[in-house]
Structure 1
Amino acid sequence: MSAQPEFNKTLSDEINIMPDAHEKLVELLSNEEDINGVRIFVSGGGCSGMTYGMTFSEAPGEYDAILEKDGLTLYIDAVALGYLNGVEIDFVQQGMGASFVFRNAFAATGGSGACGGCGSAG
């Protein structure tokens, strides 16, 4: 029987949930049955950098790190965790709309020219 790989399942203070985001997530979770937490995920890459998102989740996955604080449970898979170091999650209201905003040290700076084909059809 082979040993399972070890994954970092602990979260540090490097992931910062701002008070408005925390309050809104707890509110949204309280309206959902069978939902026990919020999954934070990372996808993409390329010229525009990583794309961050959230979805409701019933349970953590096998390789998820779990952050629990003041009535909020977050699930983050081991791969995404590496890209979330230094992230700040906020809830911002602008005019008639509101959204969650991810601010991250790894965000693309844009205009680097490393991906000259962006936006072109070839």
Structure 2
Amino acid sequence: MDQQNLTLSPSAAARVAAIAEKQGKPAILRLSVEGGGCSGFQYKFGLADTPEPDDMIAETDGVRLVVDPSSLDLVNGCVVDFVESLGGAAFKVENPNAAAGCGCGSSFSV
């Protein structure tokens, strides 16, 4: 698959690398989409030990972002960023496919 479909920002890559180092895991962030949340779909993040054979992989600064094929349909063209604000720090998905989102930023609809 074309690696340009997803982007992991440098700040998100740095955060994944720091978390992975603390946990003694590879610097691989898995983004998946599940039904639910306040707008219909919700993003789920987790560290992965290895990419699956059919995953789409994007790499920034040696850190990999992996997405399974069924989630990729909903997040194709996304940028995954790490944002720190007064409200806390979190991974944020800038999704051009989302027709609507919610206030918390972790849920969307298409």
Cross-structure match for 2:97: 106
C-alpha offsets along residues 56-79 of structure 1, whole Å, 9 cap, x if unaligned? Answer: 111122422223332102221111
Structure 1 gaps of 5+ residues are 1-9, 111-122
Greater helix fraction, Structure 1 or Structure 2? 2
Matched residue SS, 2:84: strand
TM-score when normalising by structure 2: 0.74
Deviations 1:22-73 (CA, angstroms, capped at 9, x unpaired) = 2111221222224452211011169714211210111122422223332102
Q: What's 2:47 paired with?
A: 56
1:63-113: CA deviation from partner (whole Å, max 9, x where unpaired): 222233321022211111121112111111111621111111122327xxx
Unaligned runs of 5+ in 2: 102-110
Number of aligned residues: 101
Indicate which of 7, 14, 21 corresponds to 1:30.
21
Match of 1:76 in 2: 67
Q: Partner amino acid for 2:70?
A: V
RMSD: 2.4
Higher alpha-carbon Rg: 1
Q: Identity, % of aligned pairs?
A: 32
Q: Post-superposition, which runs of at least 4 consecutive aligned residues in structure 1 deviate over 4 A?
A: none
TM-score between the two structures when normalised by the length of structure 1 = 0.68
